[in-house]
Amino acid sequence: MSSRLMIEPVTRIEGHAKISIQLNDAGEVESSRFHITEFRGFEKICEGRPFEEMPGLMSRVCGICPVSHVLASSKAGDMLLGVSIPVAAEKQRRLVNYAQLLQSHALSFFHLSAPDLLLGMDSPPATRNILGLLERDPDFLRRGIRLRQFGQRVIELVGGKRVHPGWSGPGGVHRRFTTVQRDEILTWIPEALASVTAALDRLKPILDSFREEIANMGNFPSLFLATVNPDGGLEYYDGKIRIVDGKGNIFADDLDPARYFDWLGEASEDFTFVKFPFYRPLGYPGGFYRVGPLARLNVARFAGTERADRELREFKERSAGAVCESFHYHLARLVEMLHAVERIEQLMSDADLFGDSTQARASLNRREGIGSCEAPRGTLFHHYQVDANGLMIKANLLIATGQNNHAMNLAVDQAARHFLGRIVPGIRPDEGILNRLEAAIRCFDPCLSCSTHALGQMPLIVEWIAADGSVLGQIARRS
Amino acid sequence: MRTTLLIACGNPLRRDDGVAHEVLRIIARTPCRELRSVQQLVPELAAEIAGFERVVFLDADVRSMHPAIEPVRTAMPGSPLTHAANPAEIVAISRSLFGFNGEALVCRIPARDFSPGESLAPDQLQTMYEAASELERLLEHDL
C-alpha cells in the first residue's frame, strides 16, 4: 500500500512550508515535493493604487528583505517617470542593498543554518538552535549577531528604519547621506571584516565532514542566472543578466532585465502557491535555473574587491565548471558578506554618496515600468503597468525564491531518495535524516514572507499517510 | 537614574497583536527611557539591551485576562521552528554574550482579535490604558 510522509512545517526557514514524500508499496521514496502553503496576493492588492505608493506597499512583502522590494519597486517607478536618478541616490541605494545582503545572509548563516553546520545534522533537536550555539561557541554567535546588527544599523541610518525603510521611491531617495552617518558606519568595518573572515575560516575546514550532504542535497547541473556589471563582475543593483550552464559556460548573455518576459516564462503547479519560472527557450521544466549567492558566484568572473576576489577564486576551484552543489550556497553567502562589507567600506570614501541632489523630479511619462536588482536570495523583478493617471493596472513580481522553486523540489527529492531510501511501516525515520531534508531546503534560504506573527505554538508534524487517507504513523515536535 | 528599554512587539496590521505599540505611544518619553517598536524579536536585540539596567518586553498575550508585568522566565529551549526569538532567549543571549546584568520583565497585554486590520478591538482601549498605567507605576521611581 502506498503512503506519504509529511514534514510540516519546514523549520528554520523564513515562512511556512511543508515537505511531502510519496512512498510506493515497498516503502521506497517515489517522489518528494516542497509545498509553499501561504498565499498573500500582493500583486492583486496593489491594483488601483498610485504607482508612487508602490515602494512602500511592496516593502511589506517581506520583513527580512524589504530593501530589495523597495529598490526594485523604486527602479520600476524611475522607469515610469522616465528619469535617470542622481548619482547620490544611486549610491545610497547600492549602500543599503549591500547592508541588506549582509544582515539577511547573517541571519541565514549564523542563526538558521549554523546549528546544523556546527552542532551537527544529528545533534538533538532540542539544542540544535541558537541556544545550542550559545553553549558551544559563544564567540561565533556573538559575531553573527553583531554582523546582522551592523547591516540593520546601516539600513536604519540611511533608510530611516530597519524594517520597511521608506526613503527610496520613484526618482531617487528622500534623504541625504551625511558624514555623521559615514563616521558611525566606519567604526563597524574592522569588526565586520574580522567576523566574516572568522566565519569563513570556521566553515571551510568542516566542509569535508559534510561530503555526503554536499553530494546529495541538491547536487545537479542547472542553469544559473544573475546580474553582472559590464565587465562580467558581481553586480547587485543594476546591470544585464547573464546565464551560465552547469559546466560554467555562458549560455545567454547581455539580457535586458526590462525585457525579462521575452526570455523568462512562469509555470504553475497545483501543489504549491509559488510559481515556477523557467528560461523560455528551453521550456518548462527543462529551462529551470538557480539564482542567489551560488548562482551569482558561478556567473560572475570576479568580485571586484580584494578579499572577496581571493575567496571567489578559491570557490571556483571547487569545480572545473560551475559549482553545482546547493550545499555551497552557505559558503557563497559568506563570500558575498565579505564582498558587501568591503563595498560598504569603499562607498564611505565615495564623494558621490554625499551629493545634495537625491531626487529627479518628473511626472508620469511611461505606462510600463520594470525594475530589477539582486536580492539576497537572487534576482528580483517588479513589473508594473499603470493607467494615464498613474494608477496601477497590473503588477507582476518575480521573486528569487520562486526562481529557485524547481531546484528546491529537486533538492528535497534527491535528499529523500538518498537519506530516507526505504521506510519500514511502523518504524519512525531517524530525526537527523528528516532534518537533512529540511536542510536541503535551508541551503537556498527560501524567504516565504513571514512578517506576520504566529499565534501560540507551531507544531512540526511528520505523518505517514496511506493512500486511503489513514495516518500510519506520526512524529510531533513542538516549539 | 535607572535606564530602561521598553520593547513593544507585535504586528500592527493584525489588530490586537499591535496593542503593545499603542501602549508604547501612551508611555511618556523621559531621558531614562528608550522606546522601541518591533514586529518580532530578533537576535540583535540581545546586543542592544546590554546597555540598559532594565528591559521590558511588551507583547499581546491571548492567554492573559489582565495586563501583568512579570520577570522574564529562565531561557527555555530555543524553538527550532522559526527565526523569531522570545524574550527569554534574547535575555539569555544578552546575559551570556553581551554582559547584560539588569532586570528583565515582560508586560503581557490581553488580546483577542488577531484578524487583519489596523484598529484594536473596542474593548482593547481600556486594556491598553491599564497596561500603560502599570508600566508608569513600575517606571515612576526611575528618575
CA separation, residue A213 to residues A111, A335, A396, A411, A468 (Å): 19, 20, 36, 11, 34
Which residues in B lie closer than 8 A to residue A115 (C-beta atoms)? 80
Same domain, A443 and A355: no
- Residue A161's pLDDT is 86
Whether a cis peptide bond, with omega within 30° of 0, leads into B122 is no
| Cβ <8 Å between A129 and B80 | yes
Give the pLDDT band (50/70/90) at residue A5. low
Which residues in B lie closer than 8 A to residue A107 (C-beta atoms)? 42-43, 83
Q: What is the pLDDT of residues A445-460, one digit of tens each?
A: 987 653 222 222 333 3
- A106 assigned to some structural domain: yes
Least confident of A150-154, A271-275, B119-123: A271-275
Give the pLDDT band (50/70/90) at residue A166. confident
Give the pLDDT band (50/70/90) at residue A477. very low
Bigger pLDDT: B125 vs A474: B125
The answer on pLDDT for A43 being more than 90 is no
Query: How far away is chain B from the Cα of A269, in angstroms, using its nearest Cα?
Result: 26
Query: Among A316, A340, A361, which residue terminates a domain?
Result: A361
CATH of the domain spanning B4-139: 3.40.50.1450
Q: Best residue in A62, A453, A455 to probe B by mutation, most B CBs within 10 Å?
A: A453
- What are the cell numbers at A411? 533538492
CATH assignment at residue A138: 1.10.645.10
Same domain, A239 and A168: no
Total domain count for chain A? 3
Nearest CB among B38, B81, B96 relative to A138 is that of: B96
| Cβ <8 Å between A12 and B82 | yes
ipTM, 2 decimals?
0.80
The answer on pLDDT for A64 being more than 80 is no
The neighbouring-strand residues paired with B105 are B56, B71
Average pLDDT over residues A47-75: 91
Alpha-carbon dihedral angle through residues A145, A147, A153, A155, given to the nearest 10 degrees: -120
Which residues in A lie closer than 8 A to residue B92 (C-beta atoms)? 131, 134
- A408 assigned to some structural domain: no
- The DSSP annotation for A141-182 comes to HHHHHHHHHHHHHHHHHHHSSSSS---EETTEESS---HHHH
Same domain, A212 and A176: yes
Same domain, A20 and A134: no
Indicate the average pLDDT of chain A. 89
Closest listed residue to residue A281, CA positions, set A225, A219, A218, A220:
A225
| Cβ <8 Å between A129 and B78 | yes
- A230 assigned to some structural domain: yes
Same domain, A94 and A144: yes
- Residue B75's pLDDT is 62
- A398 assigned to some structural domain: no
What residue ranges of chain B have pLDDT lower than 50?
79-81
- The DSSP annotation for A250-282 comes to EEEEEE-GGGHHHHEEEE--TT-SS-EEEEGGG
Q: What is the pLDDT of residues A287-319, one digit of tens each?
A: 999 999 999 999 999 999 999 999 999 999 999
| Cβ <8 Å between B85 and A130 | yes
**Closest alpha carbon within chain A to B81:** A11
Q: What is the pLDDT of residues A172-219, one digit of tens each?
A: 999 999 999 999 999 999 999 999 999 999 999 999 999 999 999 999
Same domain, A442 and A454: yes
- Residue A451's pLDDT is 25
The answer on pLDDT for A46 being more than 60 is yes
- A367 assigned to some structural domain: no
- Residue A457's pLDDT is 31
**Closest alpha carbon within chain A to B18:** A453
- A19 assigned to some structural domain: yes
Instruction: Quote the domain boundaries for residue A172.
Output: 84-219+326-361
| Cβ <8 Å between B93 and A134 | yes
- Residue B83's pLDDT is 54
Least confident of A20-34, A247-261, A386-400: A20-34
Q: pTM of the prediction?
A: 0.89
| Cβ <8 Å between A479 and B46 | no
The answer on pLDDT for A332 being more than 50 is yes
